Amino acid sequence: MPPQLLIARNFRSNALKNTAVYLLILFIGILITYAVITSWSGFVKQNETTAHHQAETRHDWLDNPDKHPHRMAHYGNFAFRPKAPLSIFDSGMESFFGNTIFLEAHKQNSVNFSEAGFSTGMLRFGEISVAMVLQILLPLLLFFIGFTSIAAERENGTLKIILTQGISWKQLITGKIIGLAQIAMGVFIPVMLVTFVLWFFLQDGHITSDETVRLLLVFLSYGIYLLLFCVIAVLVSAASRTSKSALVSLIGLWLMLTIVLPRASQALGSYLYPAPVKVTFLANIEKDVLKEGDSHNPDDIHYKALKDSLLTTYGVDSTSQLPFNYSGFVMAEGEKISARIYNSHFDKLLRVYDDQNSFLKATAFLDPFVAIKNLSMSLAGTDYRTYTDFQKQAEAYRYAMAQKMNELQIKYISNKKPGPNEKPVVIDQKHWEEVPEFEYVQPMVNTVFEHETTSFFALLFWIGLLYFMIEILSKKLKVN
């Protein structure tokens, strides 16, 4: 057996003799069990609720009686966002994002009904998810087990004996890393097996290649992440003169990597790239829309040029003589203008958030926790990018719905207004079927590579950095 594997087996055997290690593993197991149960329950409940209300909304839309198409445009519709399958592993920002938007003509509403909005303030301290345990608590366990890996050998004098028997520093460090990694995999692999089973059954066995690739990338990225912490623990222990100093150094490093740096970089990013508050954002949109005029007022001066152009083109004296419904035409034009203005402001807002997120992602080269957190949420479909994609799909559906109603008004509604004793002008309810049901389509996994390139390269950077540190320390470390 290679000496590295002998060292790994000996280290693993000695580490698992410590009762405290089993108690910590048991504690982590309890937390993971709790996270799995709550994630499973939340996933099933929300998706069942979403499916129920989606079907109810569709039924109510189709059940509308004959009416004016513009009234249907204001009657509106709803867009619902179901939970992604891997949200049972990493809830990400899911609880802070809404999952429902009311869609109506001439107005873009915000996403509502986030879990945070119905919860107590305790949610701000974070949720317990499987990903959170693997990202934060398991590295702490690895530091607790690994701080004595070499420092204890130096303290009790066995380090000198080991090295005089022909074992090199590189073999010793590698062996300790392998032993610690085996303990890590002993916890990590069962967790991923449970995740796979839940993920498989929540989709009723109808899994797609896209979701399979996402799960495999989650497994690979977390495996690399945990291996990095194994290497860090052993290297710090090797560079420390005592076990006590190694433990203090590792705890300080853990606090810095998992708490201080992520919070500080996020706050600094928001300071460097400030985003407008919601009231200001909406006020700016309304101000720009008012500059274009009121599409509900046919005599609005801003639409006078459009009116004069149509009258000249068709050679008529009034809008009532046009071969199509003039009000519907104005509504369609107003919808086009308001949607353009909203999308312009929304894109500017997204660029600000992208700058904030890019700053945070850049710190992944200083902190592997940032890299795995961003990559994990993106793969699970619980990140900010997926949320904004839902907003864009819902807005595209809203615009198509409103323009469809305007098209029906232009085509079927006469310019002649009904008299006081005549029935209101309406169209047959069969036309409501021409508006399809909204269905959110999750982005493909290739978008993860596009938006999380920094996170991928950061993990590769850390692999190279720690390999380089092993090579350097193997040549410079001393016995005493």
Domain boundary assignment for the chain: 3-274+367-383+417-476
Hey, is 112 helix, strand or coil?
Answer: strand
- What was the pLDDT predicted at 290? 79
Among 290, 391, 278, 285, residue whose Cα is nearest residue 345:
285
- What was the pLDDT predicted at 425? 82
> What digits encode the pLDDT tens for the residues 13-25?
999 888 999 999 9
- What was the pLDDT predicted at 311? 84
Q: What is the largest CA-CA distance in the chain?
A: 109
Amino acid at site 250: L
- What was the pLDDT predicted at 122? 46
The C-alpha atoms of residue 239 and residue 10 are separated, in whole angstroms, by: 21
Residue ranges in the chain whose pLDDT is less than 70: 113-126, 295-299, 419-422
- What was the pLDDT predicted at 398? 93
The C-alpha atoms of residue 331 and residue 5 are separated, in whole angstroms, by: 75
The C-alpha atoms of residue 212 and residue 71 are separated, in whole angstroms, by: 45
- What was the pLDDT predicted at 408? 92
CA geometry: angle 39, 383, 76, nearest 5 deg: 90
Determine the distance from the C-alpha atom of residue 275 to the mean position of all C-alpha atoms in its chain, rounded to a whole number. Answer: 19
Eight-class DSSP state of 444: P
Residues in the chain: 480
Secondary structure element (H or E) that encloses residue 80, with its range: strand 77-80
Phi first, then psi, for residue 101 (nearest 5°) are: -130, 135
The C-alpha atoms of residue 418 and residue 103 are separated, in whole angstroms, by: 29
The C-alpha atoms of residue 143 and residue 136 are separated, in whole angstroms, by: 11
